[in-house]
Structure 1
Amino acid sequence: MSTMPPEVSAILLDIEGTTTAITFVKNVLFPYVEENVQDYLLLHWDEEECQEDIRQLRKQAEEDAELDGFVPIPPDSEKGAEDVDSVVQAVVNNVHWQMSQDRKTTALKQLQGHMWREAYSTGHVKGDVYRDVVPAIREWRKAGKKVYIYSSGSVEAQKLLFGHSVQGNLLDLFDGYFDTTIGHKVESESYRRIAENIGCSPENILFLTDVTKEAKAAEEAGVHVAMVVRPGNAPLTDDEKLQYSLIMSFSDLSLLPLL
């Protein structure tokens, strides 16, 4: 059991390995994109959003021309169905290559986000959320705490996950969302910016994460940290176990000092 510091008024939550199984993105979301990207592009080819996704991927491909394994995307000459098929196949190959390299380019994230939006809205995918998360957040909110999400995934992707979760629409549990547009999670300045955005001091924030580099950055900014230990998360060293407060479940986080 870990006690929440009394000065904490806002709780900042990571997603992967914290609210959601770390395997969800790798085993559900990523395979969905890899298996369905060709059908998605053909179905939405004539839509401006899809064409913008392809333009961004083509622009990224031009920047990647010097990388090993680079997959080019030819221009769309609008000659006919055969040309469409060749461009689609090139985009599919490029997306598969980027994902095999675990790249996180804005162009790739944009297409993935649009595909996941469709997957969630049609019910093909539901957001994974640990059972202990919702009851705990409701208790925190009853106690007057505000709750925010901070993830490397886009704000849109965050809202899709919690808006179409296995436990229903959970968007009313959160007071706001942050992604890497405010800064990377391993940079302490990001947490200072979040505190400023929320309208509080860093010491008024408790950050829950499973990543020690993120925990270190948050602590350097003056934010309180608790490490979340879930099945499948990266193991902590003995020193890390001593350095941080550890919780196995959100229910391990007590609002009141233990007597």
Structure 2
Amino acid sequence: MTSAILTDIEGTTSSISFVRDVLFPYARRALPGFVAGHGQDPEVRRWLDAVAVEIGGACQDQLIVETLQGWIDQDRKHSALKALQGMVWEAGYRNADFTAPIYRDAAEALQRWHDLELPLYVYSSGSVPAQKLFFGHSDAGDLTGLFSGWYDTEVGGKRDPASYTRIAGSIGVAPHSILFLSDVVEELDAARAAGLHTVLVDRPEDYPHPRLEDAAHGHTRVTGFQEIALPR
């Protein structure tokens, strides 16, 4: 029986293109001004210093910003970058520069599962603050109240089975009672290795070439949340 649902965001509840075409370019443009204005704030400084250590020690903020912009271009999954992007995006959301698009079938299913008192959790490579901003400023309204918890790569990499074991322990349920939803086969492989049930979300909007048979690695495949049947 399913005791909890754990979901990815990009390519699962929402389009891949929004992050790539809207959020990443916005952060790249806004970072210089953000660091200039907030670089001495303790939480911002903490992450800037973490980047400085990685690239060789004490350096000018301009070099740190250029490094971060390079990481954005590379789509690097780095905790410092994710945290700083989240702070930049917060201003964009609050200024209504953009809203986060949620697939209608996903929003409806999440609401339905919440109404059934099924706990919902997010696990994304984006930072937890960024996740909350995303669902808090979506085109379906503020959906943050649907979720019972949030996880990012601070708990571990999404392709590492140990991360899913830690999440199950944090939630307080057996791994086999969690259903994990993602568009990334390798993440699903890791979750399955930890004992979770898995569903590959293979949306034609994001993946024009369906991932069938061997490409799905044996995971249940759906093209939208309306097709998801909860394991019993």
CA distance in 2, matches of 1:242, 1:187: 16
Alignment RMSD, CA only? Answer: 2.3
Q: Which residue of 2 aligns with 1:238?
A: 213
- Determine which structure has more spread, i.e. the larger CA radius of gyration: 1
What SS does the corresponding residue of 2:56 show, helix, strand or coil?
Answer: helix
Aligned mate of 1:154, from 115, 127, 140: 127
Task: Compute the TM-score of the two structures, normalised by the length of structure 2.
Answer: 0.89
Q: Is 2:191 the counterpart of 1:205?
A: no
Q: Is 2:125 the counterpart of 1:165?
A: no
CA distance in 1, matches of 2:140, 2:7: 18
Asked whether the equivalents of residues 73 and 94 of structure 1 are also in contact (C-alpha less than 8 Å), the reply is: no
Q: Which residue of 2 aligns with 1:252?
A: 227
- 1:178 to partner: Cα distance: 1.0
CA distance in 2, matches of 1:242, 1:21: 22
Asked whether the equivalents of residues 19 and 129 of structure 1 are also in contact (C-alpha less than 8 Å), the reply is: yes
CA distance in 2, matches of 1:61, 1:254: 47
Identity of aligned residues (%): 38
Aligned mate of 2:28, from 34, 41, 44: 34
What SS does the corresponding residue of 1:243 show, helix, strand or coil?
Answer: coil
Q: Which residue of 2 aligns with 1:19?
A: 13
Q: How many residues align?
A: 230
Aligned mate of 1:124, from 90, 94, 97: 97
Give the gaps of 5 or more residues in structure 2: none
CA distance in 1, matches of 2:147, 2:79: 25
Q: Deviations over 1:203-259 (max 9, x none)?
A: 1111111111111111111111111011223752531347221111111124599xx
CA distance in 2, matches of 1:54, 1:186: 26
Q: Is 2:166 the counterpart of 1:193?
A: yes
Aligned mate of 1:177, from 107, 128, 150: 150
Asked whether the equivalents of residues 79 and 127 of structure 2 are also in contact (C-alpha less than 8 Å), the reply is: no
- 1:42 to partner: Cα distance: 3.1
What SS does the corresponding residue of 1:132 show, helix, strand or coil?
Answer: helix
Give the gaps of 5 or more residues in structure 1: 1-6, 64-71, 75-86
> Which structure would you say has the larger RCO, counting Cα contacts within 8 Å and 6 or more residues apart?
1
